[in-house]
Structure 1
Amino acid sequence: MTARAAVEHRELARFPWGVSVHESQAGRASTERIDPLSAVAARPVTGGILVLAVALPLLTLLTRADEITVGAGLVGALGLVVISCLLILDRTRAHRPVFSVTLGLVVYLLQAGVLALAVASTYGANDLLRDDWAPIVVGLVLFSLAPYRPAVELAAATAGLTALSAGFAVLQAPFATTDVPLATFAVAGSSSLACLGFASAAYALSMNGSILAWLEQAWRSAAAAAVEQRGGVARSVQQQRVSLVNRKVVPYFTRISAAETLTAEDREEARELAVSIRALLVADIERGWAQALLDELCSRAPGAPIPGVADDPDDVGRSLTTAQRTLLRAIGMEAVERVGVSSVELRIRETATSVSVRWWLATPGGGARAARQLTATLHLVRGLTHRSRVDTQADAVTLEFEYGR
């Protein structure tokens, strides 16, 4: 292996999106980031858990309505539960940005509000703490976050909310029918939340650890294969250039060698041929990576090639990691071969902290229909990039996102 190949192998052997598996801990990763499609597959389960979280307090209300002392507190608690569930369901859609740390903090604060308002709604009349619905509902909400938040964050949030729930249980101890130590009330009023919350963290830790281990093995195998084949790919590209030149030069030389004399027309044709070949080779060398990508993909369009324009004056695309370029290629292939776009524009710009990417896809069938066809790809984009955004128009769809540096 040459020195250049060794450097390329080390680059390719890194974990996709620029972070080595050894640099990333399973406890700080989220499934939505490292394997977006697995998070998508878990979304129906997440929805079912959230439906249960909303249904549980309503069912409890039907059986324990006599314990409600402050109706506004109950309404507020139910409202916060519904808002939390809607936030989670909305943010897990393909068209929405990835679940952020800020949004996670908002959800945790809402759960603290649920605990407080639920206690206020039954304060002075709750004589069986083990029947409280709020700790169970908060635990279910935490469990639904397993595919979207890191295990460490879930464990920390569970610990904080468990302590808060235990504290509220102690406040209600004077009104309970059972005379037991305060510690017993604390455990009874928080154990369900702790079990569900820490189970969520454990599940996230186990799942993400397995995914990271699998990705490391798969990426290293792919890297080794890519390095082995890169020389062949380079030779193939060179052969295409030689073939292109030969199609123009060889026929001319053959005709000249058979002629007895050179005419002025022959000399003029030779000059035009030299200028044409030189311009062709210079354009091929100066063509940026993004334009080369579009030229290749647009030539595969069903029926006939389609126009593809790249706006990358600094050739930023060439400096992206292999995995980042792979995602761009996947987006283009899906758009050209599956959606059937009529034209493509790709804009790439580099900022101080990121690389901004913008795809514009002209779609005769309509932007909304194209976005539905690209749903799986959009889930990949939102999980593997930053600040992704999808905008559909009557005859086009725009996809914007950023790569972190």
Structure 2
Amino acid sequence: MSSDLTQQDLDPIANVTGRPLVIAAGAAVTVFALVLTIAHGNEIRSMPAAVLGVLLVAAAGAVAVGSTSGRRAPFTVERLWLVIVLAVAAAIAEYLSTIGANRYLSDDYGAAVIGVLLLALAPYATWRALAAAGGVATVVLSILVVGAAPYTWSAAPLPILVLAGATIALGLGAAAAVYSWTAVATLLSTQRAANRRLLRSGDPADEFDRAGHPSAVSVLRGEVLPFLARVMTSDRITVADADRARELVEALRSAVRAGAEATWLDELATELRLGRDVDVIVDDEASEAQRLRDDQRVLVTGLMMWLSEHGIASAHVLVRRDDPEVPGRGRIVVAARTGLLEPDVARLEWFAPLGRAAGITVDRVEVGENVRVELGYGID
């Protein structure tokens, strides 16, 4: 799993649902810092530093709220570090405001402010960035505890004081990193499972268009979706990925164009392929099959159905408007390969009189290892 992904990357709705928590956290840490500053007012030795500390907490909360706005999406790692730097600066200002008189570490707000902001920003940052920010903040807080330890009224050993002073930031930072990692892992697993179900659940009829070419649905299912799933979980987009994306766009465009240009004869070919396992290829570049009248279409359909029931395994149907031998007429050539059985040419006699009534003539019939039927039709 990529360490560069966030919950916001995989689930943009998280940007909306998570923001109220950020707003609440920004307001809460500001009020918390103000209340604790007032509570240990008798320890304050530098009022400007104390005021600056509260203002820096308010600034950290404001940056967190502003940075997660939908208008400024996506949230970047630089914004995370700006929030944490401001919060750490607030902790330093608080330390300076009570230096030499800080009797109780429990009423210092720095660690709690940092931890709460990290947890609120977990949906917007990678787990690595959250862990790094929490680690750096913990180191700074530990240094501040060491500096304040000689003046506290606690008899606890220094390591215990350091652990107590940094536990909140360390614990909430670790919780934020775990949440980010878990959210991304869960979303990736869900998306991959959905992609696999989509790739397996398609109707076979969707795999090809009416002309027997790969359909837009099959291109999406077989190529585009797997490509997107791979790119979405990769660390970066390569030049090869960009080239492949262009190829898929062209393939999808071609599939859509082929589907739009398909004719009733293409539909018949697809029905024979899916319903009777006869592979039929239609060669009708100018869509001349559309010019045939309804009665002519019925007869051609009947012929193809009859051939599919009497032994052919595959067929190639060629449709041309201009007959090179008889000007003003069109020609349909059915070239088929027989399977286990060979069609009985005598049985085709039914077609000739019906064809003449509809303006179709049977110009040539050959039956053997291969079957060839040439039909001529008049162009209105």
Category of TM-score, reference length = shorter chain: 0.5 to 0.7
Letter in 1 for 2:58: V
Residue in 2 that maps onto 1:143: 119
Residue in 2 that maps onto 1:231: 208
Letter in 2 for 1:231: F
Distance 1:221 1:135, change over 3 A: same
Contact 2:91 2:109 survives alignment (8 Å): no
Aligned partner of 2:78 among 75, 95, 102? 102
Residue in 1 that maps onto 2:91: 115
Aligned partner of 1:182 among 151, 158, 178? 158
Q: Offset of 1:174 from its aligned partner?
A: 1.2
Aligned partner of 1:38 among 6, 11, 14? 14
Residue in 2 that maps onto 1:207: 183
Q: Offset of 1:248 from its aligned partner?
A: 8.3
Kindly name which structure, 1 or 2, has the bigger radius of gyration based on alpha carbons.
2
Aligned partner of 2:107 among 116, 131, 145? 131
Counterpart CA distance in 2 for 1:89 and 1:223 is 40
Distance 1:126 1:94, change over 3 A: same
Provide structure 2 residue ranges, at least 5 long, that are not aligned to the other structure.
210-214, 217-254, 265-286, 297-320, 322-380
* SS of alignment partner, residue 87 of structure 2: helix
* SS of alignment partner, residue 99 of structure 1: coil
When the two structures are aligned, how many residues end up with a matched partner? 230
Letter in 2 for 1:105: W
Q: Offset of 1:40 from its aligned partner?
A: 2.0
Contact 2:29 2:113 survives alignment (8 Å): yes
Counterpart CA distance in 1 for 2:259 and 2:195 is 29
Counterpart CA distance in 1 for 2:291 and 2:66 is 61
1:59 equivalent in alignment to 2:35:
yes
Q: Offset of 1:125 from its aligned partner?
A: 1.6
1:160 equivalent in alignment to 2:136:
yes
Q: What TM-score do the two structures reach when normalised by structure 2?
A: 0.55
Counterpart CA distance in 2 for 1:227 and 1:167 is 65
Aligned partner of 2:261 among 238, 241, 263? 241
Counterpart CA distance in 1 for 2:142 and 2:194 is 45
- Output one character per residue of 1:245-276: Cα deviation in whole Å (capped at 9) or x when no partner: 6798568xx9xxxxxxxxxxxxxxx9xxxxxx
Contact 2:25 2:116 survives alignment (8 Å): yes
Mean Cα deviation higher: 229-238 or 70-79? 229-238
Distance 1:88 1:126, change over 3 A: same
Q: Offset of 1:222 from its aligned partner?
A: 2.6
* SS of alignment partner, residue 72 of structure 2: coil
Letter in 1 for 2:149: A
* SS of alignment partner, residue 125 of structure 1: coil
Distance 1:236 1:152, change over 3 A: closer
* SS of alignment partner, residue 45 of structure 1: helix
Contact 2:37 2:50 survives alignment (8 Å): no
Counterpart CA distance in 1 for 2:50 and 2:202 is 60
Residue in 1 that maps onto 2:44: 68
Distance 1:230 1:55, change over 3 A: farther
Counterpart CA distance in 1 for 2:105 and 2:114 is 15
Contact 2:5 2:184 survives alignment (8 Å): yes
Identical-pair percentage? 23
Counterpart CA distance in 2 for 1:31 and 1:216 is 15
Q: Offset of 1:179 from its aligned partner?
A: 2.6
Q: Offset of 1:101 from its aligned partner?
A: 2.2
Residue in 2 that maps onto 1:390: none
* SS of alignment partner, residue 208 of structure 2: helix
Q: Offset of 1:216 from its aligned partner?
A: 1.2
Counterpart CA distance in 2 for 1:36 and 1:237 is 33
Counterpart CA distance in 2 for 1:162 and 1:241 is 66
Q: How does 1:380-391 map to 2 (within 5 A)?
A: none
| Higher relative contact order (Cα pairs below 8 Å, separated by 6+ residues) | 1
Q: Offset of 1:62 from its aligned partner?
A: 3.0
Contact 2:105 2:152 survives alignment (8 Å): yes
Counterpart CA distance in 2 for 1:72 and 1:247 is 88
Q: What TM-score do the two structures reach when normalised by structure 1?
A: 0.52
Q: Offset of 1:46 from its aligned partner?
A: 2.2
Counterpart CA distance in 2 for 1:161 and 1:101 is 15
Residue in 2 that maps onto 1:349: none
